[in-house]
Structures are given as structure tokens and as C-alpha cells.
Amino acid sequence: MNETIHPAPAEFTENEIRAEPILRFFHYAHLPEFLQARSRPFCELARLIHDTTPYNAERYVALRKLLESKDAAVRAGLDA
């Protein structure tokens, strides 16, 4: 994957991302400030899911759907 497009978010360690690669897509520091504010809560919720949900297929589905929602919310903010 191209690290310059989606560098790992500081909210997750390299080991966490290695174990669960989807976490790297919750990065938001590269976005303009007004979109960072829209994206940040999704990263925070990804952290909560990661920390409180057993590692299983449903956890992955929860993170994948959260990522889809985050992407949609950021795209919606582009029209604002």
C-alpha cells in the first residue's frame, strides 16, 4: 500500500496496524482542518471498537462499515 496516501494514524501503534491493517485508513491529519474535525470522531470510535471488542469477524465488519461511513461523511463535507 502507498504510505504517502494513507500514512498510519498516530492513534494506533505499528503493531496494532500490522495486526489489523484497516486501522491505517482512519488517518485524518492529511485532511484540511474542516475535514479533520469531521473525520476525527470516526478514528476515536475505531479506537474504542479496537479496545473493547473481541478480535473476530464481526469486529472487522464493524470497522469496515465505520470506514465506509467515515469516507461518506468526509465526501459529504466536500460539498459544504
**Residue 46: which domain range?**
14-78
Q: Predicted confidence band at 6 (pLDDT cuts at 50, 70, 90)?
A: low
Residue 30 lies in a domain: yes
The torsion region of residue 44 among left (phi > 0), alpha (psi -120 to 50) and beta comes to alpha
User: Does residue 3 fall inside a structural domain?
Assistant: no
**Tally of domains within the chain:** 1
Residue 19 lies in a domain: yes
pTM of the model: 0.85
Q: Is residue 69 part of a domain?
A: yes
In a domain, 4, yes or no: no
Question: Which pLDDT tens digit goes with each residue over 7-28?
Answer: 667 889 989 999 999 999 998 9
- 35: in domain: yes
